[in-house]
C-alpha cells in the first residue's frame, strides 16, 4: 500500500510528512527546504512557478503572484474577511458565479481551490521524487475555525491536485496527535499557534467517547504573526541609526535589505542568547564619509519591543478560554505551534498563564505536518494506534566511588529499555555494596533525586576491584524501573522495583533540568575534584598492592623513592588543591611505571629460566597479563 502524505497547507508556508518506521518524517522539497512557501505565480512566458521560485520573483510580478490563498479559500466574496484582505492583496480578486472568490493570474481567472491545488501538486510531486514512490492519498490540515465550505474547498483542492483526500483534519488536533495527547481521554488541550502571519488559539476536548476530538473553542488574530516581530526590530534599527547619525535608512533599498536580514537573524539568535550584535559596516555614506551601523541588541530590548504582541496573544488566549467557559486551570496540556513560539518570552508568558510547562519539544514548524502523517498512518491501517513510546525525562544511574552519580540510562532514552554495567568494590574485603538509585543530571550523587536504595551482601572477601557486580537497569513500557545487582561470583542477587518515578510532573523535570544547567560549572569543578581524588586513591592502592605482591622484585632505592612520593600524594589527596593532587599523581604514576617495568623484567627472566623451550608460548601469556595502559 502506498504511503499517505500528511500535508500542512499553511497560509505562508506548507510542509509535508510521511510515516517511516512508525515515526513521522518531514519531507524536504526539491530545493532542499523543509517548508515550502505557499506561493504560486505565472511568469510572462506562461511558466507556472510554485514555492520558493514563485516567491523570489514576487516583487517583479506582483499581479500574477498569488500568496495567502488560504485566507480566501472556501470563503464567500462578501465575507468581511475577504473584503478586508482585498485591500492588502496586490493581485486581483472578484466574485465568482457561485458567490465565492476568484483570483486572476495571467489572463485567466481561477477558483481559490485551484490555486491551493497548484501548491498541493508541487508538494505531492516533490514528495514522490523524494521517497521514490507514487503518492495517491493524503491527509490535509486546516485551521480549527474553518467552516464546512472552507474544508470542502481544501478537499477539492487536494482532488484537483490528484490526491485522494482521506481526511481534512484540524491543525491543532494534528499538533496534539504529534505529542500523543489525544490518547488520554477526558482532558482539555489548548493549542497556541503563532505562525509567520497568523495567530490561532484552539481548545480541544479529547472526548471519552473513543476517537473523537472536539474543538470547544477557537480564537486568534488572522493578521498577527512573526513577521510583525521582524518589522518591529527593523523599525528599531532604523530609528536608532537615525537618532545616532541623522540618516533615514528606510528609503535605501540596499540598506533596507541588509537591515531586514539582520533583524531576522538577531530575533532568532536572541531565542538562545541574551545579547547579540547587529553589525552592518558601510551601511550608507554621506559627504563626511562612510557610515557603519553597529548596535548591541539584548533579549530584554527585543522583549520590550514586542511586548504588546505577546500580551495581545495572551489576551486572545484568555478570551478563547472565556468563550469556552473554561479557566486556565481546566487545561491539562498546552501545545506550542509555529516558529514564533521559539521565543522564550512567549513560552514564559504561556507558562505563567497556565502555571505549567507547555509541550514544545517537537519542531513547531513541523509538528502539524507530522501529526497529519500520523493520522494518515492510523487511517491507512498501517497502525491501529500510533505507538507512542515515551523517553526518560531525566538520566537514571547509581552512586559510585566518591559519591559520584554514574549514569546508566541517559535522559531522553526511549523505553522500554535496559542497560547492564559491571561495577566493583571500593575497598579490600568489602562484603556488601549499597546500590543507591538516582535520577537527575547532576554529577554529584546527593544533588540528584534518590529513587531507592538496597544492599547486596554476601560478597566473598577479596581485594577491591576484584568482585564483579552486575548492575542492571530495566525500564519497562509502563515506565517502571527495575534495578538489580548480582554478584557474578556467587550468583547472589538483589533488586528493587520503582514505580511512577519516570513520569514526574513537567514542572519537577524542568526544575531539575534548570538546576543542573545552573550548576554546570560548579558541578564540573566538584566532579573534577572527586575524579582526581579517585585516581590518586587508586594509584596509592595499586602501589600498596604491588609492594605486597611483588615488593621483593623492586629495587630498594626505587621503592624508597616511590614510598616518599606516595606519602606526598596521601598528604595532598584530601586537600582542595586540585593541581597539586594531579601533579603528585602524575609524579607517582611515572615512577611506579619504573617499578612495574622491573617486576615485568624479573618475571620475564624467571620464565626464561623455567621454560626456555616454550619461548613463543610464553610470549603470548606475557602480553595477556601485562597490557600496557597509555
Distance CA 325, CA 365 (A): 30
Q: Are 167 and 375 in contact (CB under 8 A)?
A: yes
Q: How far is CA 573 from the centre of its chain?
A: 41
CA dihedral 102, 115, 105, 50 (to 10 degrees): 160
Identify the active-site residue in 114, 137, 171, 200.
171
Tell me whether residue 184 or residue 387 sits nearer to another protein (CB atom).
387
Distance CA 515, CA 517 (A): 5
* Polymer length in residues for the chain: 630
Number of residues in contact with another protein under rule CB under 8 A: 35
Least distance from another protein to the Cβ atom of residue 296, Å:
18
Least distance from another protein to the Cβ atom of residue 544, Å:
41
Among positions 33, 53, 221, 223, the unique one binding another protein when judged by CB under 8 A: 53
Distance CA 456, CA 435 (A): 8
Looking at residues 509 to 538 of the shown chain, list those that interact with another protein (rule: CB under 8 A).
none
Residue 59 touching another protein (CB under 8 A): yes
Q: What x-and-dash track marks residues 473-492 binding another protein by CB under 8 A?
A: ---xx---------------
Identify the active-site residue in 3, 8, 228, 267.
8
Residues 6+ apart with CB under 8 A from 405: 397, 398, 399, 438, 440, 442, 443, 444, 445, 447, 448
Q: Are 481 and 435 in contact (CB under 8 A)?
A: no
Q: Are 408 and 45 in contact (CB under 8 A)?
A: no
Looking at residues 369 to 398 of the shown chain, list those that interact with another protein (rule: CB under 8 A).
387, 389
3-state secondary structure at position 3: coil
Identify the active-site residue in 114, 193, 375, 523.
193
Residue 44 touching another protein (CB under 8 A): yes
Distances 312 to 224, 232, 307 between C-alpha atoms, Å: 9, 15, 8
Tell me whether residue 183 or residue 611 sits nearer to another protein (CB atom).
183
Residue 90 touching another protein (CB under 8 A): no
Residues 6+ apart with CB under 8 A from 89: 68
Range in contact with another protein (rule: CB under 8 A) among 133-141, 166-174, 276-284, 505-513: 276-284
Range in contact with another protein (rule: CB under 8 A) among 11-19, 46-54, 235-243, 372-380: 46-54
Residue 294 touching another protein (CB under 8 A): no
Q: Are 398 and 406 in contact (CB under 8 A)?
A: yes
Range in contact with another protein (rule: CB under 8 A) among 17-25, 77-85, 136-144, 550-558: 17-25
Tell me whether residue 289 or residue 381 sits nearer to another protein (CB atom).
289
Q: Are 389 and 33 in contact (CB under 8 A)?
A: no
576 half-sphere exposure, CB direction, 13 A CA radius = 1
Residue 285 touching another protein (CB under 8 A): yes
Residues 6+ apart with CB under 8 A from 550: 599, 602
Closest CA to 114 of 54, 72, 86: 72
The question of whether 147 is a catalytic residue gets the answer no
Tell me whether residue 285 or residue 490 sits nearer to another protein (CB atom).
285
Residue 415 touching another protein (CB under 8 A): yes
The question of whether 8 is a catalytic residue gets the answer yes
Closest CA to 590 of 607, 567, 624, 565: 565
Distances 439 to 261, 310, 409, 425 between C-alpha atoms, Å: 44, 36, 10, 22
CB burial readout 106-144, b (16+ within 10 A) else e = eeeebbbbbbbbbbbbbbbbbbbeebeeebbbbbbbbbb
Range in contact with another protein (rule: CB under 8 A) among 1-9, 197-205, 249-257, 325-333: 249-257
The question of whether 315 is a catalytic residue gets the answer no
Among positions 33, 48, 57, 131, the unique one binding another protein when judged by CB under 8 A: 57
Least distance from another protein to the Cβ atom of residue 54, Å:
7
Range in contact with another protein (rule: CB under 8 A) among 15-23, 199-207, 313-321, 494-502: 15-23
Residue 60 touching another protein (CB under 8 A): yes
Among positions 17, 27, 40, 49, the unique one binding another protein when judged by CB under 8 A: 49
Q: What x-and-dash track marks residues 190-229 binding another protein by CB under 8 A?
A: ----------------------------------------
Range in contact with another protein (rule: CB under 8 A) among 94-102, 268-276, 307-315, 414-422: 414-422
Among positions 81, 99, 133, 281, the unique one binding another protein when judged by CB under 8 A: 281
Helix (H) / strand (E) element for 376: namely: helix 367-379
The question of whether 171 is a catalytic residue gets the answer yes
Range in contact with another protein (rule: CB under 8 A) among 157-165, 346-354, 413-421, 553-561: 413-421
First to last CA, the chain: 56
DSSP string, 501-534: SSS--HHHHHHHHHHHHHTHHHHHHHHHHHHHHH
Residue 58 touching another protein (CB under 8 A): yes
Q: How far is CA 103 from the centre of its chain?
A: 41
> Which residues in this chain contact another protein in the complex, by CB under 8 A?
21-23, 31-32, 43-44, 49, 53-60, 253-254, 257, 280-282, 285, 289-290, 387, 389, 412-417, 476-477
Instruction: Name the residues annotated as catalytic.
Output: 8, 70, 171, 193
Amino acid at each position: 500500500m502506498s504511503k499517505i502524505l500528511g500535508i500542512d497547507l499553511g497560509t505562508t508556508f506548507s510542509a509535508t510528512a510521511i510515516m517511516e518506521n512508525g515515526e513521522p518524517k518531514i519531507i524536504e522539497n526539491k530545493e532542499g527546504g523543509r517548508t515550502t512557501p505557499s506561493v504560486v505565480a505565472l511568469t510572462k512566458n506562461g511558466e507556472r512557478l510554485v514555492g520558493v521560485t514563485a516567491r523570489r520573483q514576487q516583487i517583479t510580478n506582483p499581479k500574477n503572484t498569488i500568496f495567502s490563498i488560504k485566507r480566501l479559500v472556501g470563503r464567500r466574496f462578501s465575507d468581511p474577511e475577504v473584503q478586508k484582505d482585498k485591500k492588502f492583496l496586490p493581485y486581483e480578486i472578484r466574485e465568482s458565479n457561485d458567490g465565492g472568490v476568484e483570483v486572476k493570474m495571467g489572463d485567466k481567472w481561477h477558483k481559490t481551490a485551484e490555486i491551493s491545488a497548484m501548491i498541493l501538486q508541487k508538494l505531492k510531486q516533490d514528495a514522490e521524487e523524494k521517497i521514490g514512490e507514487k503518492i495517491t492519498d493524503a491527509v490535509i490540515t486546516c485551521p480549527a475555525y474553518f467552516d464546512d465550505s472552507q474544508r470542502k474547498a481544501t478537499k477539492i483542492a487536494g482532488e484537483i491536485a490528484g490526491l485522494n483526500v482521506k481526511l481534512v483534519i484540524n491543525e491543532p488536533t494534528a499538533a496534539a496527535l504529534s505529542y500523543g495527547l489525544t490518547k488520554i481521554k477526558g482532558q482539555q488541550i489548548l493549542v497556541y499557534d503563532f505562525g509567520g502571519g497568523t495567530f490561532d488559539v484552539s481548545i480541544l476536548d479529547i472526548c471519552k467517547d473513543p476517537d473523537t476530538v472536539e474543538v470547544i473553542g477557537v480564537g486568534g488574530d488572522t493578521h498577527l504573526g512573526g513577521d510583525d516581530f521582524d518589522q518591529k526590530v527593523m523599525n528599531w534599527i532604523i530609528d536608532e541609526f537615525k537618532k545616532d547619525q541623522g540618516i533615514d535608512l528606510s528609503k535605501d533599498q540596499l540598506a533596507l535589505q541588509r537591515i531586514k536580514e539582520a533583524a531576522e537573524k538577531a530575533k532568532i539568535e536572541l531565542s538562545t542568547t541574551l545579547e547579540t550584535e547587529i553589525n552592518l559596516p558601510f551601511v550608507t555614506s554621506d559627504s563626511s564619509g562612510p557610515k557603519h551601523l553597529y548596535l548591541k541588541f539584548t533579549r530584554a530590548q527585543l522583549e520590550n519591543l514586542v511586548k504588546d504582541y505577546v500580551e495581545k496573544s495572551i489576551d486572545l488566549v484568555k478570551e478563547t478560554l472565556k468563550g469556552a467557559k473554561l479557566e486556565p486551570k481546566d487545561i491539562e496540556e498546552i501545545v506550542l505551534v509555529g516558529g514564533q513560539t521559539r521565543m522564550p518570552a512567549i513560552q514564559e508568558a504561556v507558562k505563567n498563564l497556565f502555571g505549567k510547562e507547555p509541550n514544545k519539544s517537537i519542531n513547531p514548524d513541523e509538528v502539524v505536518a507530522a501529526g497529519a502523517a500520523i493520522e494518515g498512518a492510523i487511517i491507512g491501517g498501517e497502525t491501529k494506534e500510533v505507538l507512542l513510546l515515551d523517553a526518560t525525562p531525566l538520566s537514571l544511574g547509581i552512586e559510585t566511588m566518591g559519591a559520584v552519580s554514574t549514569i546508566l540510562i541517559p535522559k531522553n532514552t526511549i523505553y522500554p529499555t535496559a542497560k547492564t554495567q559491571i561495577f566493583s568494590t571500593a575497598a579490600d574485603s568489602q562484603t556488601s555494596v549499597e546500590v543507591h538509585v538516582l535520577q537527575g543530571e547532576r554529577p554529584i550523587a546527593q544533588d540528584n533525586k534518590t529513587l531507592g536504595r538496597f544492599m547486596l551482601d554476601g560478597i566473598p572477601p577479596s581485594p577491591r576491584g576484584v568482585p564483579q557486580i552486575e548492575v542492571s537497569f530495566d525500564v519497562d513500557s509502563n515506565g517502571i524501573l527495575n534495578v538489580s545487582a548480582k554478584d557474578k561470583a556467587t550468583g547472589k542477587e538483589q533488586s528493587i522495583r520503582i514505580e511512577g518515578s519516570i513520569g514526574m510532573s513537567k514542572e519537577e523535570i524542568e526544575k531539575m533540568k534548570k538546576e543542573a544547567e545552573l550548576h554546570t560549572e560548579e558541578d564540573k569543578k566538584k566532579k573534577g575534584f572527586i575524579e582526581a581524588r579517585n585516581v590518586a586513591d587508586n594509584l596509592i592502592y595499586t602501589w600498596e598492592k604491588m609492594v605486597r605482591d611483588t615488593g621483593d622484585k623492586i629495587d630498594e632505592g626505587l621503592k624508597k623513592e616511590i614510598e616518599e612520593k606516595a606519602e606526598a600524594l596521601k598528604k595532598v589527596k584530601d586537600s582542595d588543591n586540585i593541581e597539586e593532587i594531579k601533579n603528585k599523581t602524575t609524579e607517582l604514576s611515572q615512577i611506579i611505571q619504573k617499578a612495574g617495568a622491573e617486576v615485568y623484567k624479573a618475571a620475564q627472566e624467571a620464565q626464561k629460566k623455567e621454560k626456555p623451550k616454550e619461548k613463543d608460548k610464553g610470549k603470548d601469556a606475557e602480553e595477556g597479563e601485562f597490557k600496557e595502559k597509555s
